[in-house]
């Protein structure tokens, strides 16, 4: 069966954290939506054009910059007398166990149908006609070709509504909340697969992972993937996920709700946060209730605030739909930073509650509530300056070389697309 994960226009409201990556490739719990849907069939992404171009250009030669799985070409599914089945899933759907079970139920029922909310179309089950064509096939191909621009075509099919509810992320801070709510169940699913040995109570380790002596697990579960390395005198308070080839430096403290992505380097104190693949936080400093993109470097002494001095709920501000400034009540007492891909911090950087940092920004000192993409706080005096694509590509290439990856022309093209569009992160 084919699964197509599509982005809709509402993906823009997720702001900085999806500027340089598909929403379906955000780590929530210990998996992305693309990874979770892989149990249902062959997954393809229908993305914003510049992301689709990057994915197509990378092909099967290397993983995309955001660290997700490559896409292999697949033949058109053969239609039976009942019609071939394709599942369309909104990229903002949370990869929770409940959602995946609900989608599996939709597939097993086998009836054409759609799941909608006031926020838009969340999923649909399409049938190809016995000859491989039909209106559903037309929409299937249109969504793959045009991404968000073709989503209205799903509604035009007038499919019967399925009585199913799915949880989604609508605003940037929803990603932090969804992660907290799904990490424990995500780890339970991994443990149930039987691919880990329980090295000590609560510590589940995949083959080829290395765990030093004197590592303390005060609470489980802690799941450590293949080729990961945990140094001595590390304290782990689960639920914690440590991804493939990640490294946890000696004396680190990983607290509940932490997910460390593939090939990350982590030290200091981390709580209830996600580090996407290939990012670094190797030194002392606190990262709490935050989401950090790929190819980010948080320098020594970088500290996020995750609690207001008043202990009240954190508010974030955005450009309102009427052109003014809108205050968004997150309803969260604890909320740290939402950091896009390719961001760098200087030593001793202080980041406030609810801060949002745009792609390829460079920050230092006392960071404001919001930092635009490519803004450089370290050069240009009080006003700062703007990093060029060449400067950003040079730094990224050096960072990728340290992970044994070659930088491709497609990577620079993605950076150029981000730099050319000033609207990224402007809505939320």
Full DSSP string of 178-237? HHHHHHHHHHHHHHHTT--EEEETTEEE-TT-EE-TT-EEEES-EEE-TT-EE-TT-EEE
Residues 188 and 106 in one domain: no
Beta-carbon neighbour count of residue 295 at 10 Å?
Answer: 25
Cβ 296 vs Cβ 396: under 8 Å:
no
Which is more confident, 85 or 114?
114
Residues 187 and 296 in one domain: yes
Select from 97, 123, 156 the last residue of a domain.
156
Beta-carbon neighbour count of residue 200 at 10 Å?
Answer: 13
**pLDDT confidence of residue 322:** 57
Phi and psi at residue 328, to the nearest 5°: -110, 120
Confirm whether 426 is domain-assigned: no
Residues 178 and 296 in one domain: yes
* Confidence bin at 81 (pLDDT 50/70/90): very low
User: In whole angstroms, how far apart are CA 242 and each of 62, 63, 121?
Assistant: 22, 20, 34
Closest CA to 3 of 51, 36, 52: 36
Residue range(s) defining the domain that contains residue 363: 172-420
Which is more confident, 133 or 22?
22
* Confidence bin at 60 (pLDDT 50/70/90): confident
Closest CA to 41 of 96, 99, 87: 87
Question: For residue 85, what are the β-bridge partners?
Answer: 127
Question: For residue 117, what are the β-bridge partners?
Answer: 120
**pLDDT confidence of residue 317:** 84
Residues 210 and 91 in one domain: no
Residues 222 and 348 in one domain: yes
Q: How far apart are CA 424 and CA 412, in angstroms?
A: 17
Q: Any residues with CB less than 8 A from the CB of 209 and at least 6 apart, and which?
A: 224, 225, 226, 227, 228, 229, 230
* Confidence bin at 135 (pLDDT 50/70/90): confident
Confirm whether 324 is domain-assigned: yes
**pLDDT confidence of residue 427:** 45
Select from 156, 185, 200 the last residue of a domain.
156
The C-alpha torsion from 109 through 112 and 115 to 120, rounded to 10°, is 160
Select from 156, 188, 205 the last residue of a domain.
156
Residues 210 and 145 in one domain: no
Average pLDDT over residues 4-14: 95
The CATH number of the domain holding residue 371 is 2.160.10.10
Residue 392 CB-density burial (10 A; 0-12 exposed, 13-18 middle, 19+ buried): buried
Mean pLDDT (the chain) is: 93
Which is more confident, 306 or 68?
306
Average pLDDT over residues 290-311: 98
Residues 55 and 188 in one domain: no
Q: Would you say residue 73 has pLDDT above 80?
A: no
Q: How far apart are CA 396 and CA 342, in angstroms?
A: 7
Closest CA to 302 of 351, 341, 264: 351
* Confidence bin at 319 (pLDDT 50/70/90): low
* Confidence bin at 413 (pLDDT 50/70/90): very high
Question: For residue 121, what are the β-bridge partners?
Answer: 116
* Confidence bin at 293 (pLDDT 50/70/90): very high
> HEC states along 245-270?
CCEECCCCEECCCEEECCCCEECCEE
Q: Would you say residue 68 has pLDDT above 50?
A: yes
Residues 215 and 314 in one domain: yes
> Among 111-125, 139-153, 174-188, 316-330, which is the least confidently predicted range?
316-330
Cα atoms found within 13 Å of the Cα of residue 176, Cβ hemisphere only? 29
Confirm whether 167 is domain-assigned: no
User: In whole angstroms, how far apart are CA 191 and each of 100, 194, 222, 282, 424?
Assistant: 17, 6, 10, 27, 38
Residues 268 and 138 in one domain: no
Q: How far apart are CA 164 and CA 93, in angstroms?
A: 13
**pLDDT confidence of residue 428:** 47
Q: Using one digit for the tens of pLDDT, what is the confidence trace for 369-395?
A: 999 999 999 999 999 999 999 999 999
């Amino acid at each position: 069966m084919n699964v197509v994960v599509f982005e809709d226009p509402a993906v823009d409201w997720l702001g900085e954290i999806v500027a340089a990556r598909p929403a379906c490739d955000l780590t929530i719990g210990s998996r992305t939506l693309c990874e979770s849907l892989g149990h249902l069939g062959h997954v393809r992404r229908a993305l914003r054009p510049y992301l689709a171009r990057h994915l197509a250009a990378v092909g099967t030669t290397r993983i995309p910059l955001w660290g997700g799985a490559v896409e292999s070409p697949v033949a058109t599914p053969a239609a039976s007398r009942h019609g071939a089945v394709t599942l369309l899933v909104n990229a903002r759907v949370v990869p929770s166990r409940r959602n995946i079970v609900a989608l599996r139920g939709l597939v097993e029922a086998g009836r054409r149908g759609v799941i909608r909310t006031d926020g838009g179309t969340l999923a649909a089950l399409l049938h190809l006609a016995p000859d491989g064509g039909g209106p559903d096939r037309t929409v299937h191909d249109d969504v793959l070709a045009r991404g968000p621009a073709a989503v209205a075509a799903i509604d035009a099919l007038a499919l019967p509504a399925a009585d199913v509810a799915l949880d989604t992320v609508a605003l940037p801070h929803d990603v932090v909340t969804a992660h907290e709510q799904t990490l424990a169940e995500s780890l339970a699913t991994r443990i149930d697969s039987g691919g880990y040995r329980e090295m000590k109570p609560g510590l589940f380790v995949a083959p080829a992972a290395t765990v030093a002596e004197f590592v303390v697990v005060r609470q489980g579960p802690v799941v450590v993937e293949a080729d990961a390395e945990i140094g001595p005198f590390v304290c782990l308070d689960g639920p914690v996920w440590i991804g493939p080839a990640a490294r946890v430096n000696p004396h680190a403290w990983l607290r509940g709700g932490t997910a460390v992505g593939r090939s990350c380097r982590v030290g200091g104190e981390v709580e209830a946060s996600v580090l996407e693949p290939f990012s670094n936080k190797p030194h002392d400093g606190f990262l709490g209730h935050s989401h950090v993109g790929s190819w980010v470097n948080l320098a020594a002494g970088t500290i996020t605030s995750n609690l207001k001095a008043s202990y009240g709920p954190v508010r974030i501000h955005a450009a309102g739909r009427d052109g003014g400034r809108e205050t968004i009540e997150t309803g969260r007492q604890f909320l740290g930073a939402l950091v896009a891909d390719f961001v760098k911090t200087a030593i001793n950087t202080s980041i406030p509650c609810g801060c949002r940092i745009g792609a390829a920004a460079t920050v230092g000192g006392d960071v404001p509530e919001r930092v635009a993409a490519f803004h450089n706080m370290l050069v240009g005096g009080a006003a700062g300056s703007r990093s060029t694509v060449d400067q950003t590509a040079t730094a990224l290439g050096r960072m990728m070389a340290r992970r044994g990856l070659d930088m491709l022309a497609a990577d620079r093209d993605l950076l150029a697309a981000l730099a050319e569009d000033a609207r990224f992160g402007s809505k939320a």
